Amino acid sequence: MASAAADKQRTKFTLDERDIPAKWYNIQADFKTPAPPVLHPGTGQPIGPADLAPLFPMELIKQEVGTDRWVEIPDAVRDVYRLWRPSPLFRARRLEKTIGTPARIYYKYEGVSPAGSHKPNTAVAQAYYNKKEGVTRLSTETGAGQWGSALAFASQLFGLQCKVYMVKVSYQQKPYRRIMMETWGAQVVASPSTDTQAGKKVLDQDVNSPGSLGIAISEAVEDAATRDDTKYSLGSVLNHVLMHQTIIGLETKKQLEKADDEADIVIACAGGGSNFAGLSFPFAADKLTGKKKKLRLIAVEPSACPSLTKGTYTYDFGDTVGMTPLVKMHTLGHGFIPAPLHAGGLRYHGMAPLVCKLYDEGVIEAVAVPQIATFQAAMQFARSEGVIPAPEAAHAIRVVIDEAERCKKEGKRKTIVFNLSGHGHFDLGAYEQFLAGKLQDYEYPAEKIAEALRGVPQVKV
């Protein structure tokens, strides 16, 4: 067909608004064995919907445990998605040329959302279901502010109040994302704050506490648990969050069809696992159902926080403080505190349980890469393709370039697809350090991990 031939020359593969998928994909439908249950930390027994009801709306709890393959995306959610979706798929022709690889490289660009990352894909859905069930206010935590800004945006569009507990060091050192959140109408406080008992307790011991994600989570959860009008919202890790993100991979598959191409290798960075799952799960479906056995799916993590590649697959707390239910995942130990990596979104001690199950079963691969090599990849990408990637996404780019180099050596024409999960416009401080030669690599923290793993609870299942 003439149009297909013409399409092969294209750089950008766009879809019409009508092509925004009507359903999310639930990978649990294609598992041969069910996902391990989530356990109550006190009793060690599987938790039920009632245990989660104070924190989440019922529809999201249903999605968390549901096994239907397809879940309808509500019209009101698709209407908001229209503001930036379908997001473009690019052929990275200039990057291919600088590498001199016979491989074809494509990237799905999620930085076109108002908040600049993939996170609004789930923030919008979560705000919608909360609104529908009569909730008027959401609480959450944020580190550097990527998740907080996504939820602030989504809350504003659905007329919900939004309270964000932002880790104090970031609050002080990274004001721009806070200003974004406030522009979208959220109330942002530095955590630890005097607004919660958890925050007060920390401040009583140390008025100058710089805060941590663990403390901020405790504050946000307490806020939701103690108010009738408020529920809690999480930006990664949970099954329903990963499912909302599958819109990325579903669009990508349609776009590759337009490009008359098929993926051989699918790559994304993994912090909590949501953007990796979002791109890769619809492809993993073809692997699980035996349609594409040779397809490679690669999650990329920092070597300073290597939960998949160096963690233990066991039950652990989801938060650093040890308040949440126990989930089975690859963990470095909930007490593990990674080095202050510039990819703030990749510093989680564990990994989404659904991603971990696939890794344990050998369906997906994982690679850990160091910080400096990651920024070198980010530079090569920015200087060929233009977009300045978020440091998180640059981890994926590192492995994309490595795989493309391998194709060059072996003379193979593979098709590589990766998720450019966000732009790096708020991370220029990190780029400044890299350009000044001041960025450092962190050793693999074997001892710290061993120590943190000793704190993992013993669970008999």
Ligand X SMILES: *Cc1c(COP(=O)(O)O)cnc(C)c1O
Question: Per-residue x/- mask for ligand X, residues 113 to 152, rule CB under 6 A?
Answer: ----x-x--------------------------x------
DSSP E strands: which ranges in 202-343? 230-232, 265-269, 296-302, 312-317, 326-331
Q: Which of 21, 86, 148, 273 binds ligand X (CB under 6 A)?
A: 273
The stretch among 101-109, 267-275, 284-292, 400-408 that binds ligand X (CB under 6 A) is 267-275
3-state secondary structure 253-292: HHHHHHCCCCCCEEEEECCCCHHHHHHHHHHHHHHHCCCC
- Report the site for ligand X in 401-440 (rule: CB under 6 A): 421-422
Q: How many chain residues bind ligand X (CB under 6 A)?
A: 19
State the minimum distance, in angstroms, from the CB of residue 109 to ligand X.
11
Q: Which of 88, 148, 249, 271 binds ligand X (CB under 6 A)?
A: 271
**Residue least distant from ligand X (Cβ):** 422
For residue 286, what are the contacts with CB-CB under 8 A and spacing of at least 6?
Answer: 292, 295
State the minimum distance, in angstroms, from the CB of residue 369 to ligand X.
14
State the minimum distance, in angstroms, from the CB of residue 23 to ligand X.
21
Distance, CA of 112 to CA of 20 (rounded, Å): 15
- Report the site for ligand X in 348-407 (rule: CB under 6 A): 390, 392-393
Pairing of strands 104-109, 23-25: unpaired
- Report the site for ligand X in 213-242 (rule: CB under 6 A): 236
State the minimum distance, in angstroms, from the CB of residue 272 to ligand X.
4
State the minimum distance, in angstroms, from the CB of residue 15 to ligand X.
22
Residue 308 near residue 362, CB atoms below 8 Å: no
- Of 152 and 407, nearer to ligand X (C-beta) is 152
Q: Report the greatest alpha carbon distance in the chain.
A: 71
- Residue 67, classed as helix, strand or coil, is coil
State the minimum distance, in angstroms, from the CB of residue 260 to ligand X.
29
What number of residues does the chain have?
Answer: 461
Question: Does residue 307 bind ligand X (CB under 6 A)?
Answer: no
Q: Read off the amino acid at residue 340.
A: P
The stretch among 5-13, 85-93, 204-212, 270-278 that binds ligand X (CB under 6 A) is 270-278
State the minimum distance, in angstroms, from the CB of residue 42 to ligand X.
28
State the minimum distance, in angstroms, from the CB of residue 275 to ligand X.
3
C-alpha gyration radius of the chain = 21
Contacts 24+ apart (CB under 8 A), 378-385: 378/424, 378/431, 378/434, 379/434, 380/95, 380/98, 381/92, 381/95, 383/98, 384/92, 384/94, 384/95, 384/97, 384/98, 385/90, 385/92, 385/94, 385/95, 385/107
Which two structure tokens, joined as six digits, stand for 352? 């989404």
- The answer to whether the bond into 192 is cis (omega within 30° of 0) is yes
Q: Which of 272, 311, 333, 445 binds ligand X (CB under 6 A)?
A: 272
Q: Which residues bind ligand X (CB under 6 A)?
A: 117, 119, 146, 236, 269-276, 345-346, 390, 392-393, 421-422
